[in-house]
Structure 1
Amino acid sequence: MRSKLVKSTLLFCIMPVLLPQLGSYNYVPETKENLNWADLVTVDLGLYKTEEGKKQLAQTLIKAVREEGFFYVKNFNISQERVDRQFSLGKQFYELPLGEKEKFTPDGLDQGKFNGYVPAGRRFINNEAGIRDRTEMYNIPKFNGDFLHDHPEVIQKNLPEIEEFARSLHTEVLDPLFVLLAIALELPEDHLTKIHQYPRKSEDHLRYMKYSKFTPEENEKLTNWSSGHTDLGSFTLLFRQPVAALQIRYHTTNEWKWVKPQDATLTVNACDALQFLTAGYVKSTVHRVTVPPHDQQHVDRLGLLYFSRPHNDEVLSTIKESPVLQREGYTQNDFERSENAVPTMEGKLIKSLLIV
Structure 2
Amino acid sequence: MPVAVPLPELGQFNYVPETKENIDWADLITLDFSLYGTPEGKKQLAKTLVEAVRVHGFFYVKNFNISQERVNRQFSMGKQFYELPLEEKLKYVPDLDNGAFNGYTPAGRRILDTESGLRDRIEIYNLPKFDGFFTHNHPAVIQDHLAEIEEFAKSLHTEVLDPLHVLLAIALELPEDYFLKIHDYSRKSEDHFRYMKYSKYTPEENAKLGRIWGQGHTDLGSWTLLFRQPVAALQIRHLQTNEWKWVKPQDGTLTVNACDALSFLTGGYVRSTVHRVVAPPKDQEHVDRLGVLYFSRPNNDVKLETIKDSPVLQREGFVKNQFEESGNPVPTMEEWTFAKQKWQRTNNKVRGDPKYETAQILPGFSEKVYA
TM-score normalised over the length of structure 1: 0.95
Q: Aligned ranges for residues 279-318 of structure 1 at < 5 Å? A: 279-318=267-306
- Choose which of 126, 130, 154 in structure 2 pairs with 1:143: 130
| Kept in 2: contact 1:17–1:160 (CA 8 A) | no
- Choose which of 324, 329, 334 in structure 1 pairs with 2:312: 324
| Kept in 2: contact 1:43–1:73 (CA 8 A) | yes
* CA deviation map 1:164-215 (0-9, x unaligned): 0000000000000000010000000000011111111000000000000001
Structure 2 counterpart of 1:144, one-letter code: D
Q: Aligned ranges for residues 43-62 of structure 1 at < 5 Å? A: 43-62=31-50
1:97 aligned residue: 85
1:178 aligned residue: 165
**2:308 partner SS:** coil
1:165 aligned residue: 152
- Choose which of 350, 353, 356 in structure 1 pairs with 2:338: 350
Using the TM superposition, give the Cα deviation of residue 141 of structure 1 relative to its aligned residue in structure 2, in angstroms.
0.3
2:174 aligned residue: 187
1:215 aligned residue: 202
Using the TM superposition, give the Cα deviation of residue 57 of structure 1 relative to its aligned residue in structure 2, in angstroms.
0.3
Using the TM superposition, give the Cα deviation of residue 251 of structure 1 relative to its aligned residue in structure 2, in angstroms.
1.9
Quote the Cα distance in structure 2 between the aligned partners of 1:202 and 1:227: 26
Quote the Cα distance in structure 2 between the aligned partners of 1:195 and 1:133: 35
1:8 aligned residue: none
Quote the Cα distance in structure 1 between the aligned partners of 2:2 and 2:237: 40
The answer as to 2:233 corresponding to 1:254 is: no
Using the TM superposition, give the Cα deviation of residue 16 of structure 1 relative to its aligned residue in structure 2, in angstroms.
3.1
Using the TM superposition, give the Cα deviation of residue 224 of structure 1 relative to its aligned residue in structure 2, in angstroms.
4.7
* CA deviation map 1:70-99 (0-9, x unaligned): 000000000000000000000000000000
Quote the Cα distance in structure 2 between the aligned partners of 1:259 and 1:231: 16
Structure 2 counterpart of 1:172, one-letter code: E
* CA deviation map 1:216-258 (0-9, x unaligned): 1101112253440000000000000100000000122210000
Return closer, same or farther for 1:68/1:17 CA change in 2, 3 Å cut-off.
farther
Quote the Cα distance in structure 2 between the aligned partners of 1:24 and 1:93: 14
2:193 aligned residue: 206
Quote the Cα distance in structure 2 between the aligned partners of 1:270 and 1:150: 30
Structure 1 counterpart of 2:18, one-letter code: E
- Choose which of 262, 271, 284 in structure 1 pairs with 2:259: 271
Using the TM superposition, give the Cα deviation of residue 18 of structure 1 relative to its aligned residue in structure 2, in angstroms.
3.0
* CA deviation map 1:83-135 (0-9, x unaligned): 000000000000000000111111x2110111011000001111122100000
- What 5-or-longer segments of structure 1 have no aligned partner? 1-12
Quote the Cα distance in structure 2 between the aligned partners of 1:68 and 1:98: 39
The answer as to 2:328 corresponding to 1:340 is: yes
2:103 aligned residue: 116
**1:149 partner SS:** coil
**1:73 partner SS:** strand
Structure 1 counterpart of 2:147, one-letter code: P
| Kept in 1: contact 2:162–2:180 (CA 8 A) | yes
| Kept in 1: contact 2:90–2:106 (CA 8 A) | yes
1:38 aligned residue: 26
| Kept in 1: contact 2:13–2:75 (CA 8 A) | yes
Return closer, same or farther for 1:294/1:345 CA change in 2, 3 Å cut-off.
same
| Kept in 1: contact 2:261–2:297 (CA 8 A) | yes
Structure 2 counterpart of 1:292, one-letter code: P
- What 5-or-longer segments of structure 2 have no aligned partner? 345-371
Structure 2 counterpart of 1:289, one-letter code: V
**1:59 partner SS:** helix
Identity score, percent? 71
**2:216 partner SS:** coil
Using the TM superposition, give the Cα deviation of residue 15 of structure 1 relative to its aligned residue in structure 2, in angstroms.
5.3
Quote the Cα distance in structure 1 between the aligned partners of 2:311 and 2:4: 42
Quote the Cα distance in structure 2 between the aligned partners of 1:14 and 1:123: 39
Which is worse superposed, 248-257 or 277-286? 248-257
Using the TM superposition, give the Cα deviation of residue 37 of structure 1 relative to its aligned residue in structure 2, in angstroms.
0.3
1:228 aligned residue: 216
Which is worse superposed, 224-233 or 56-65? 224-233
Quote the Cα distance in structure 2 between the aligned partners of 1:210 and 1:148: 24
Return closer, same or farther for 1:17/1:324 CA change in 2, 3 Å cut-off.
farther
Structure 2 counterpart of 1:340, one-letter code: N
TM-score normalised over the length of structure 2: 0.91
Structure 1 counterpart of 2:109, one-letter code: R
| Kept in 2: contact 1:58–1:181 (CA 8 A) | yes
